[in-house]
Amino acid sequence: MINFAENLNKMITAGLGGETEAPRSEVAIGYRVVYLDASGPVAEFETNVVAPIKHLLVTMEPIQEGSGDPSPENIRPITGYDSVTVTHKGKNILDLSAGTKGTLQPEGTKTFFIGNSGLLPTPDGSFTLSAGQYTFASYGFRFKTFSIYDSTGAIITTSDRDNYTFAIHETGSYVLYFSISPEDFTSWDDVWVVLARGASAGEYEPYQADTITISLDQTVYDGTLDVTTGKLTVTKKTVDLGTLGWRYNSSTNVFYTVSLTDLKTGLSYPPLSASIYKTVERAGATQVIDNFSIGVGTSGGFSNTTIIVKDNRYTDPAEFAAAITGQELLYDLDMPEVIDVTPEQITTLIGNNNVWSDSGDVEVTYTYYEKTEGY
């Protein structure tokens, strides 16, 4: 006879955060396995259980400061990540307690102001601001006006409607100001404002959030981190351009080096990124490349692990190396490095969940068991 309680416990242990799934024969009668995933700049999903997320994969992408083609006159440093911060919120992403509440006006006006109600550290997307309706109360609060400003103080949008859907088109920090006209008011604890992603705010839900910062123990420029297992995969690294043992080809007026033995090879010839030179997809001894360009050699006797640079200011390798010392080259590794860091656990919230990272896209995978209809 199947021991229902014992098998259900085994399924939960295996399916929620474990490395293996419960065998199909052990799924208890009256329950079904639910496999779900979500991904993007914000991984948004709904669930009716509180359980550990099985996998939370965070993408890290390099950041090159400035704009335009890099050159000796337009240095564009390349930065990475020493740590990754993951934010997990429920439907209501507005932390009202973080704001500064304005002075109460005379009771007869019933107009109140909440100023600087907190930054909204959320990626791009569509949002709805609503006075909400508290589930256990017969009244809510109407907006008089609200405005959203960017971090420079420039206004993004203003509305006088109870529910307003708007879009934030740039990732950054925003400040929300609004005043309310309550039907009934006793204290600021009775203000139930909802800021939700998407085109509908729905009923009021309290603000719930969890922020985790994972130290990477090094600077990572490109790769992925599985937060729940601590597996860090590094796909690119940087090197000081001045250290690469440059040679000069006088017939083609280019510098070249074969010092990068861990450079990715193959037919794709991934482009490089440099703080001082613009990149070309492919370069070679017989291929004419623009001045202040860098690329991977593919012809004219150069192997596809050869880095080629055109810089007409120099012909002497030693002078050239001295001039570019301290400048960065970012390149793809032939074999990605897998490193163990400290794993962290994030637990789902009942209802809507929003997960994002300060480093790039995220991907969430989770598994749970729910009763089937009739049980």
Cβ atoms within 10 A of the Cβ of 233, count?
A: 16
- Residue 254: CB atoms within 10 A of its CB come to 26
Is residue 186's pLDDT more than 70?
Answer: no
Position 12 scores a pLDDT of 35
Reading the block at residue 323, the tokens are 């001039």
Contact 246, 320 (CB under 8 A): yes
The predicted model gives 67-92 an average pLDDT of 93
State the pLDDT confidence band at 282, using cuts at 50, 70 and 90: low
Partners of residue 119 on adjacent β-strands: 175
Kindly state the tokens that stand for 98.
């973080």
pLDDT score recorded for residue 128: 80
- Give me the pLDDT at residue 197, please: 82
Residue 148 in this model has a pLDDT that exceeds 50: yes
- Residues 132-136: what's their mean pLDDT? 47
pLDDT surpassing 50 at residue 24: no
Q: What is the mean pLDDT of residues 200-205?
A: 78
Q: What are the distances in angstroms from CA 43 to CA 19, 39, 99, 238, 370?
A: 22, 5, 26, 30, 22
pLDDT band per the 50, 70, 90 thresholds, residue 106:
very low
pLDDT value at position 153? 67
Indicate if the pLDDT at residue 96 is higher than 60.
yes
Phi, psi at 55, each rounded to 5°: -135, 135
User: 64 to each of 69, 168, 182, 204, 330, how far by Cα in Å?
Assistant: 11, 23, 48, 41, 10
- The pLDDT, as a whole number, for residue 141 is 53
Between 292 and 22, name the one with better pLDDT. Answer: 292
| Residue 241 scores a pLDDT above 80 | yes
Q: What pLDDT is recorded for position 139?
A: 45
Q: Which pLDDT score, from 0 to 100, does residue 114 have?
A: 47
> Mean of the pLDDT values across residues 205-213?
88
Higher pLDDT, 169 or 203: 203
- Given a contact cutoff of 8 angstroms between Cβ atoms, the answer to whether 309 and 249 are in contact is no
Q: Which of 286-300, 325-339, 342-356 has the highest mean pLDDT?
A: 325-339
Q: Residue 344: is its pLDDT beyond 70?
A: yes
Please state the pTM of the whole predicted model: 0.75
User: Does residue 320 register a pLDDT over 80?
Assistant: yes
End-to-end CA distance of the chain: 19
- Compute the mean pLDDT over every residue in the chain, rounded to the nearest whole number: 75
pLDDT score of 194 more than 60: yes
What pLDDT does residue 18 have? 33
Mean pLDDT, to the nearest integer, of 318-337? Answer: 95
